[in-house]
Every structure is written in structure tokens, then in C-alpha cells.
A and B are shown apart, each in its own frame.
Chain A
Amino acid sequence: MTRWLAPLLLLASSAHAELIAITGADVWTNTADAPVRKATIVISGGRIVSIESAQPPPSSARVFEAAGRVVTPPLDAAATQIGLVEVASASDSDDRAVHGGPLGAAFDVSLGVDANDLTVQQARAAGVARALVFPGPAGNGIFAGLAARLNLAERADIVERARVALFVTAGGAAAPVAGGSRAAIWGQLRNALTEARSVGASPSTFKPRDQILNHVDIAALLPVLQKRLPLAVVAQREADIRQALAVGKDFGISVVIVGGAEAWRAAGLLASRHVPVILDPLDELPVSYDSLGARRDNAKILAEAGVTIGFTVSGQGIYLSYNLGPALREGAGIAVANGLPYAQALRAITQNAAHIWGDPVAAGTLVPGGVADLVVWDGDPLEPASAPVALFLKGSEISLRTRQTLLRDRYRPGSEERQSAPASR
């Protein structure tokens, strides 16, 4: 392993001024459907200077030898819950959702994000630089609340943008909070948008007794009606997906489908309405009556129809936040194994989330002049068995040390701890 950055250098701000050259790797830039082979990436001042095939590195550059490696933009999770939960079975370390209280649409999950959460540490060391974290599912109504965009740089405030999308949970599992029928979800959603629109149009005529919504939820809905926030609808069943599209059309709002196990059945309509789908490529089994139509080529069919896709990999809830990085890559690999072109699968886990969630500065490409955020992988990143060798954010190498690597080193075969482990009792 060629690690030339001593730990002390990581602390030095002069790292930004350094000229760095990463040499020999195949580089996926997300600007082409093939990698730049045996490339030299030159980085200066935290930005990429050049990416050229088989170029000798500048003589003044520190060289990071990466022959045989693969370089990509960092992973960008389109929908996860890292930073909101540490031990899922302990309610006092789980801030993903509200199950009571007055907040519905106005529940802002960004206020509960913890940068020190091990799920964040683990995701970062797995090559995840950005993520959308979403609330829900709520126990007190159809609105899960407002999602946030995270930037996993090593700092206390990792919320890059709060109130990025409003999440609503549709489908059979959510029906109880709407009164017992999925139809009531759509009725309540339409009513909420109607009420918010009328209040927004003429606040002076606001008559609280005529409203189901409270004022904070109305305030949360107004940006959706103004198309400044997308409405993210968690739905699996074709019928619910079509209902979400109808809501989007009738109210003139932007919709994102999250889940979308049966989205392939509405691929043409989703494409024509420019509605992205964030799906789980591992879906195949009919895990619920809402997802009887789940298929492994969902991503391929949607992409062929022109739908923008992102991935969220549940692993029955475990992969979603605990194994975020490897799970995203495993999902992308499965999608490729089921017909999705490689470059599109890579974009689905490195680039599309920024587009879907409307980041003002599009990340997820490696281009001269762009920010030097990238991952060096020890093999094909879509093989889940591969792993990061290095993560660069703004041109600085980020430590890949985690609590897990420390446990590994403590109990490594031959280590002292291991020797003192009980051999028998």
C-alpha cells in the first residue's frame, strides 16, 4: 500500500496548496460512459487540475500510486437514515421518525442529525461523501417530514442543506395512520395541498377552524406548492405510484418516487412526467402485497425509458443505514447484472442524488476545475467485495479509520488481545 500522507500532514492546512498526482488508475468521471484508462489525476488547491490518460505526473507533485485501482466520484446516497439512528432497538438513540406530537409535514429531521453517529463514521470510511437522510415512517400521520442533505466531511455540522424534500409515506403499511385505507392517504394529501394553497394565496382569510392542518405544517407545504421542494412519495405499488403522479400533475408540484418496486410498470409515464425513482435493486421478492411486481430489472427498464434513477438499498432495514456504502455498490452491481449499463449504475450511486434532490452545485463528476472529491477503490467498485483504498475530499485524504477497524486491529489473529482470549473454560 502506498500511503504517502503522514497523519500530521492531514492536519496541516498546507495540504490544500500541495500538488498531488494520483497515477495509474482507471477513472470514471461520470462525464463519459467509459473510464479514462491509466489516468493521472492532478490535484491542486483542493481542485482537479487535469485527468489525462498515461501522463507523467508533474515533477513537483506528491504521487499517489494507484495502478490497477479504480477511481470514481464518492458515493452519494439518494435515501438513507444515517446520522439519525445509532442503535435501532434503543428508542433514545433513534430519531428517524415521530410517532406522536404536533409535527407532521413540519417535522425537520435535520435537527436530529448527529455527526458523531457511528453510521456516519462508517459511511464516510466506505466512500460516502453525501447523503439524503429522510424521516419516517411517522406514527402520527401521512407526512414523515422534511429530509436533509448531508455532506460527510469531518466536521460537527454535516447538514449541508435542511428541508430538501417533503416525505409522505403511501401504501398499505402507512394506511393505519390515515385511518385505515390507502385511499385516505391520497385524500388527506390532496386536502393538505389544497388547504396550504388557499392559505398561501390569501393568508388574511386563514380560518383555523376550517383547517385540518396546523400552521407549521402549512408552512412546510408551501415550498412544495411553489416547486421549491419536491414531494417524495414512499410507494411500492403501481397504483400508488400512479396516484402520486396524478397529485403531481393536479397540483403542479415536483414528485420523487422512493421505493418504487413496481415503478417499472409505469416507466413511460414516469419518464414523460420527469419523475425520478429511487429504488432498491435488490428488490425481487414480494415482501409485501404492495410489491408483488418486484423485479430485478426494475432499474434497467426505468433507465431505458429515460427515468432518472437513484438507489436505496434496504436489506430489510439493516443495509439502509448500517452498511450504506457497500450496500449501494452491491445494489448497483445487481442492477448491472440485470441489464443496467455500468456507467448508469455508477451514476445512480455517485451522481444522480444531487440531481434528484436539486443540489445547487452539482457534484458527482470528476472534471478539471471541479472539487477534488474522489474515492480510490481496490477493485471494481460495483463488486461489493471491493473497498476504498483512499477517500479524498477537497483534495485532502480522509482517514478511513473507524471503530470497526480499531476492533479489527485489536482482535486481529496474533494480536495480544486475541492471545489473552479464553481458550477454554
Chain B
Amino acid sequence: MNFAQRAVLVAISAVASLDGAHAAAPSAVAVPRHAALEAPNSRYRPLPRADTLLTGATILDGVGGRIERGDVLMREGRIVAVGQALSHEGVVVVDVSGRWVTPGIIDIHTHYGTYLLPQSAAEANLSDVLEESDPNVADTWIEHAVRPVDPAFSRALAGGVTTLQILPGSGALFGGRTVIVKPVPAVTIDQMRFPGAHQGLKMACGSNPASSFGSRGRFPNSRQGEVAGVRAAFLDAQRYIKEWDDYRAGRRAEAPRRDLKLDTLAAALRGELGIHLHCYRADDISNWISTLEEFGVHLAAVHHAAEAYKIAPLLAQKQVCTAVWPDWWGFKREAEDGIPENGAFVDAAGGCVVMHSDIPVLGSLLNIEAAKAAAAGRRAGLAIPEEHAIRWITSNAAKALGLESQIGHLASGMNADVVVWSGDPFSIYSKADLVFIDGAVAYDRHSSQRPSDLELGRTQKEPPR
């Protein structure tokens, strides 16, 4: 296969970037807040919408509830009511009897717009997935590389995804800031940006940073080197915070020199950025949780955690969300012990389990990923009803992004991100019929689909003449 050589590019490989570092100029921003540059305001606007009542569905509310023959009422982009036989004055009524309704799916791990489709040989020399010139590129923001015409966005939407996070790759200890977006048609990233959502910080443990830099004769080239590097960087950031505190308190005459990497790490120390750690092995995960705890840093989620099941109680106790695939194993040493029951076992320990995609082909199949993971758990004797398994791609994912008060849950006051499925969402035969984002129909399977700019005018998709 063409893919075989670049198999799992996103997950495991490091694509060298020879491009010079982009000078992310702080420009004229005066810096009383000594750490984070503020992300630009979102220019996202909801699509045209009408107040809508969905009636007669099997509803999985995203937090464990299930309603048969249930209704969902949406007004002005919010959910107003979820229940049975809701009244419906002045709203569009859509009869969805026999169909299923869930919250919009949330994917906390993608590389959309940077692992840009179609991939070509050009990306071997220049990849925007990660700035790889230094193990600490905390000063980079992935949003500066995202191309919204990537067809992966619209396919994810067609698979019921309404919110997704784009992260930098895993070849650096500090990979840079993440961005959370809605998969709506857009020309610039600002038009997709989830209003008010905080950026995250991508970190990576294990073989990827060590092999990426070690193979170039650089630091780090071992796991122990990685932990040392993380400690050194956070110590720097602690000093940096103190310098700014001293300056602002008048204990220091001259303003400290502004440092964009330390801005990000300082924001991480203050808990302003969700920390998302790429880490497969149980020993690594445990070590990194401890290391981060030394600096009071809490992990939002550990991603690709193939061995999470070996330390499920730890992950539950530390309230670290665990993002996994149901069935990846073996393709690299760190994944040798992956098992399909991984997610279910962490769930059984009380952990916050999330299914993530990482590769575009899975971005429209997260419902099936959850189906496989739940079925494996059931075969191992665990009770995992549909209304529980849906949490793994809705409310638990929202929690990992710090957005649980807005999305991932069908309840009054929540954003009206809703999927109408043709049937049981955990069946391979079911499809997302309607996808609402903020109360607007963002996808209708029975309407003609808007091709992305990339696909426009290309004859390959048209019937042959």
C-alpha cells in the first residue's frame, strides 16, 4: 500500500521541518499579564438556524441518561428542554421517530488542517503538524498552520463531530498550543474557533521526542532525558513568573525579557492551559504525572494511553482523562500491550475515558470506535449500556477540553450541538442524518454536500463521461 511506509505518520513519526522558525511576534502587546498572549477573539458565527423541536427519538443524553420516544427543543442555539411530549409553539418540528439522538461528538485529538489532505511528497520536507527544530516549541500555536479547507473537517462533521481539538504533533516535549474548533465551512481559523475555549498545551513522552531528537544527535535521546528536560523547563517558568511578580510588585526595576516559550509554560503552571500529554506506557504515564505534580500541573488528558488499563485506579484518582483507540496495538513498541478492553477497564475504575481519532479516517467513525471499546468491555463482564458508552465521545471528551458546562450533554442551557442518527449510533449501518451546531443544521445527509475548496472543480468525484 502507499500508506504502508508512512503508516501512522501522525501517531508515531516525526516529519522533519526544515522551514525556519516563524517569528511569532508579540508586536505591540503591552504585557501586564506576563504569560499568555490572548488567543484572538473567535469570529465564528452560527450558521442560519431556526428554533427546532426533534420528536420521538431514542435519546442518549451524553451523561448516562436515556429517554425513549423523547424530544429535544432547541431555541436560539441552546437546548431548552429534553423530555417526552414537549410542547412546540413557533418552532420547526422534525419527526425523528425510530431514530436516535445524541449530543454532538467531540474529538479531542486531531491534526486536521495541518496533516493536510491530500498528503503529498512535499510534506516529507515540510510538515505543519509540528515545529520540530527544538524539543521545546511551547511558543508555537498550531492554529497558525491550520488550513480550514482540509476535507477532513467536513467528513468529521458528517460523522457527527461538532467540536474538535487540533494539536501539534508528538515529536517534541512541549509541542505548542492547541486550538479547539467547530467543523464549519471557513476560510480562516478564526471563523472556526470555539468561542471562549481555552487553548491547550501539547506535551509528549516516550519514544517520539527521544527518537526525533536523538536521531539528530540532540537532546533528549532518552526517557530520563525527557523528564529532566520537562523539569528544567518548568523551573525556568517558575523563575520567570517570579521575575514578573517582582517587577510588578516594584521589587525589580527593569521588566524581565519577554520569552514566548516561558509565556506558555507559565500559563501552564497557572492552570490556564489544558495539558494534553501523548503517552502510551503505564510506567511513562505514571512518571509524567508525578513530574508534573512537582510543579502543581494537572493533566487534562493523556492521549494514546495504550497501557492505561494497567494503572486505571491511578488515572481515576488523579482525574486525568484517558484518550484511547479501542484496538490499536503493536505498531510500535510503546503499543505492544494495547488491548481492546483498555477503555472499558479504565471506565470501570471510575476514570474519564475518551475515544479519539488521531488519523483522519477515524474522525468520522468515533461512534464505531466507542462501539468496539464498549463491546470488548461487555465481553469482559462489564455492564456498559449505550447511554454510558456515549459518554466516551461526548461528555467525557467535553470534560477533557474544559467545556463540560457547554457541550457534550443534552440538557437545558447547553449548546444545541445535536446529532440525529438513522439508527443505533453504535451500529456500523447507522449514519448521522442531521448534525446541529449551535442549533443550526450544519450537515444534512439528504441534501447535496458542499465540497471543500480543495475538492471544488476536481472531476475525479464526478461520474465518468
Binds A, one of B62-70, B166-174, B259-267, B368-376: B368-376
Q: Which residues of A have CB within 8 Å of B8?
A: 88, 316-318
- Asked if A227 is an interface residue, CB under 8 A from chain B, the answer is no
A33→B1 CA distance, assembly (Å): 32
Residue of B nearest to A425 (CB): B290
Q: Establish whether residues A413 and B361, one from each chain, have CB atoms under 8 Å apart when the complex forms.
A: no
- Asked if A357 is an interface residue, CB under 8 A from chain B, the answer is no
Chain B 303-334: CB-based contact to A (< 8 A → 1; otherwise 0) = 00000011111100110000000011111110
Q: Which residues of A have CB within 8 Å of B93?
A: none
- Asked if A288 is an interface residue, CB under 8 A from chain B, the answer is yes
Known: A285-B151, A286-B454, A337-B429. A316 touches B359 (CB 8 A): yes
Q: Establish whether residues A286 and B117, one from each chain, have CB atoms under 8 Å apart when the complex forms.
A: yes
- Asked if A216 is an interface residue, CB under 8 A from chain B, the answer is no
Chain A 65-81: CB-based contact to B (< 8 A → 1; otherwise 0) = 00000000000000001
Q: Which residues of B have CB within 8 Å of A412?
A: 341, 345, 380-381
Closest Cβ–Cβ distance, residue A56 to chain B (whole Å) = 30
Chain B 226-245: CB-based contact to A (< 8 A → 1; otherwise 0) = 00000000000000000000
Binds A, one of B50-58, B118-126, B410-418: B118-126
A90→B454 CA distance, assembly (Å): 36
A384→B249 CA distance, assembly (Å): 61
Max chain A Cβ within 10 angstroms of own Cβ: one of B6, B118, B286, B289: B118
Q: Establish whether residues A316 and B428, one from each chain, have CB atoms under 8 Å apart when the complex forms.
A: no
- Asked if B81 is an interface residue, CB under 8 A from chain A, the answer is no
- Asked if B145 is an interface residue, CB under 8 A from chain A, the answer is no
- Asked if B450 is an interface residue, CB under 8 A from chain A, the answer is no
- Asked if B2 is an interface residue, CB under 8 A from chain A, the answer is yes
A119→B461 CA distance, assembly (Å): 35
Task: Kindly identify, within residues 230 to 258 of chain A, every residue whose CB is under 8 Å from any CB belonging to chain B.
Answer: 234, 236, 238, 258
Q: Establish whether residues B121 and A404, one from each chain, have CB atoms under 8 Å apart when the complex forms.
A: no
Q: Which residues of B have CB within 8 Å of A337?
A: 428-431
Q: Establish whether residues B428 and A288, one from each chain, have CB atoms under 8 Å apart when the complex forms.
A: no
Q: Establish whether residues B286 and A383, one from each chain, have CB atoms under 8 Å apart when the complex forms.
A: no
Known: A265-B460, A318-B8, A413-B345. A424 touches B374 (CB 8 A): no
Max chain A Cβ within 10 angstroms of own Cβ: one of B119, B155, B329, B333: B329
Residue of B nearest to A379 (CB): B375
Chain B 435-465: CB-based contact to A (< 8 A → 1; otherwise 0) = 0000000000000000000110010110010
Q: Which residues of A have CB within 8 Å of B359?
A: 315-316, 318
Q: Establish whether residues B379 and A413, one from each chain, have CB atoms under 8 Å apart when the complex forms.
A: no
- Asked if A326 is an interface residue, CB under 8 A from chain B, the answer is yes
Known: A89-B331, A137-B1. A387 touches B375 (CB 8 A): yes
- Asked if B5 is an interface residue, CB under 8 A from chain A, the answer is yes
Closest Cβ–Cβ distance, residue B160 to chain A (whole Å) = 14
- Asked if B403 is an interface residue, CB under 8 A from chain A, the answer is no
Q: Establish whether residues A385 and B1, one from each chain, have CB atoms under 8 Å apart when the complex forms.
A: no
Chain A 319-342: CB-based contact to B (< 8 A → 1; otherwise 0) = 010110010001001101100000
Binds B, one of A158-166, A196-204, A365-373, A415-423: A415-423
Q: Establish whether residues A326 and B314, one from each chain, have CB atoms under 8 Å apart when the complex forms.
A: no
Known: A173-B2, A295-B461, A334-B428. A87 touches B120 (CB 8 A): no
Of the residues B152, B328, B427, B458, contact of A292 by C-beta under 8 Å? B458
Residue of B nearest to A236 (CB): B2
A370→B142 CA distance, assembly (Å): 58
- Asked if B80 is an interface residue, CB under 8 A from chain A, the answer is no
Q: Establish whether residues A384 and B368, one from each chain, have CB atoms under 8 Å apart when the complex forms.
A: yes
Q: Which residues of B have CB within 8 Å of A322?
A: 328-331
Q: Which residues of B have CB within 8 Å of A320?
A: 1, 3-4, 7
- Asked if B297 is an interface residue, CB under 8 A from chain A, the answer is no
- Asked if A351 is an interface residue, CB under 8 A from chain B, the answer is no
Q: Which residues of B have CB within 8 Å of A418?
A: 312-313
A247→B341 CA distance, assembly (Å): 48
- Asked if A156 is an interface residue, CB under 8 A from chain B, the answer is no
Q: Establish whether residues A383 and B361, one from each chain, have CB atoms under 8 Å apart when the complex forms.
A: no
Q: Establish whether residues B313 and A421, one from each chain, have CB atoms under 8 Å apart when the complex forms.
A: yes
A174→B3 CA distance, assembly (Å): 11
Q: Establish whether residues A424 and B314, one from each chain, have CB atoms under 8 Å apart when the complex forms.
A: yes
A259→B1 CA distance, assembly (Å): 7
- Asked if A172 is an interface residue, CB under 8 A from chain B, the answer is yes
Known: A293-B461, A318-B328, A408-B380. A285 touches B1 (CB 8 A): no
Max chain B Cβ within 10 angstroms of own Cβ: one of A90, A291, A418: A418
Closest Cβ–Cβ distance, residue A128 to chain B (whole Å) = 15
Closest Cβ–Cβ distance, residue A295 to chain B (whole Å) = 7
Q: Establish whether residues B337 and A287, one from each chain, have CB atoms under 8 Å apart when the complex forms.
A: no
- Asked if B186 is an interface residue, CB under 8 A from chain A, the answer is no
New A-B contacts (16) at CB < 8 Å, excluding given A173-B2, A322-B328, A423-B317: A122-B330, A172-B121, A234-B2, A259-B1, A287-B360, A289-B120, A291-B118, A293-B460, A314-B1, A318-B7, A320-B7, A384-B371, A387-B376, A413-B312, A421-B313, A422-B314
| 14 examples of A-B residue contacts, CB within 8 angstroms | A122-B330, A136-B4, A262-B460, A285-B151, A288-B118, A292-B460, A317-B6, A318-B11, A320-B7, A326-B327, A404-B338, A407-B339, A423-B314, A423-B317
Question: Chain B residues in contact with chain A, CB under 8 A?
Answer: 1-12, 117-121, 151-152, 155, 207, 286, 289-290, 309-314, 317-318, 327-333, 336-341, 345, 348-349, 359-362, 364-365, 368, 371-372, 374-376, 379-382, 426-431, 454-455, 458, 460-461, 464
Question: Chain A residues in contact with chain B, CB under 8 A?
Answer: 81, 86-90, 96-97, 118-119, 122, 136-137, 169, 171-174, 176, 234, 236, 238, 258-259, 262, 265-266, 282, 284-293, 295, 312, 314-318, 320, 322-323, 326, 330, 333-334, 336-337, 378, 382-387, 404, 407-408, 411-413, 417-418, 421-425
